Amino acid sequence: MAKQRSAEAPPFRERVYTTLYRLRYGWQFRSSVEISKEEPIWVLGTNYYDDPESGDKHRDVEGAPPHVMAFMEHFYSVPWMTYRSNFPPISNTALTTDCGWGCMVRSGQMVLATALNRHMLGRDWRLPTSSDKDKDIHAKVMSWFADCPSPQAPFSMHALMDQAVRHDNHPGDWFGPSQVSVIMRECMKVAKTAIPDLKNVQVYVAYDCTVYVKDVLQLFHDQYDEALVLLVPVRLGSETLNSIYIPCIQGLLSLDCCVGIIGGRPKHSVYFIGFQDDKLIHLDPHYCQSAQILEDGDDPCQFDTKTYHCPTPRKILANKMDPSCTIGFYCKGLAEFHALREEAEKVLAPPKQKGVCH
């Protein structure tokens, strides 16, 4: 069985980190962010809005309208990666926690996990209503991100840091969204040899905010079998976000193929998944939990996923977003990639910015 290490096991320094980060970022799971019942809510290409024909008969016991309940189901289903403590030391270091430095890497894990969930289960999968079989598949996907050095956890912090070192980065450093994109691409190359479910998944990182279609087409060996995770690092302003890009960000988050944005505030990374009005909805990795370990011989389908889902949405004003970010997309097959090209060109703003290069 997958094991979660005891919260009392970490040494004093890790216990202090855990306490400080829980206090600093004010995590209280019973608190709630105001979700307007009147304004539409967008989450990863799905629009939740009030249906006047639904009537009060579909409202829950607390009076929440059905579109808000549907949004909460979707939000809770999105993978949530946080700081972890008391994992095996990252190779060639004494680091057994990523508290204080790993938030951008965790945000990257969330984008990739969302894409792989979609690859394995489809974009309409929801955890609360899924079958036991689908829950097992979801558990297997999440086991690939377990906090341990194992070929069966190809996207663990350990695996990502192994690739980071090869690209002249160091565990314990703060990573930018483009750096995280590159190391996830490299991890996927390794994962494809160890995990049969990933043999047809490709990761493409678009440099200079440009997707070269010819390069992407070379990744598709068969338009029905191949899947693409497309990561586009961008900078949307100099020191602060240029407000002209806010409609573009919202438009991209409303696309079917979008799997979110690695971004946040300066030196405080979060994972953006949607928006309502002028606020961006996100998952925050700044909460330290005990490491989730996948032991040799464990059944990945029995991996415990309870700590990988957040019940509390968070929002920030769109204009507070850091200008440096990476936008993620998932395309299952060549047809979806071509559809993404057409739809993305419609929402890019300003019209003359770089986007797709033929």
Sequence-ordered list of residues with C-beta below 8 angstroms from that of 75, at least 6 positions apart, any chain: 43, 273, 281, 310, 313
Angle at 240 between CA 243 and CA 317, to 5 degrees: 60
Helix (H) or strand (E) holding 73: helix 66-77
CB 146 within 8 A of CB 156: yes
Phi, psi at residue 297, to the nearest 5°? 90, -10
CB 23 within 8 A of CB 283: no
Tokens of residue 122, six digits: 């489809």
Angle, helix 334-347 to helix 246-253, in steps of 10 degrees = 150
Count H helices, E strands: the chain? 9, 15
In one-letter notation, the amino acid at residue 163 is Q
Q: What is the DSSP letter of 228?
A: E
Cα gap 161→163, rounded to integer Å:
5
Closest CA to 308 of 151, 116, 119, 58: 116
Cα gap 273→262, rounded to integer Å:
9
The SS3 call for residue 212 is strand
Active site residues: 103, 284, 286
Cα gap 173→189, rounded to integer Å:
23
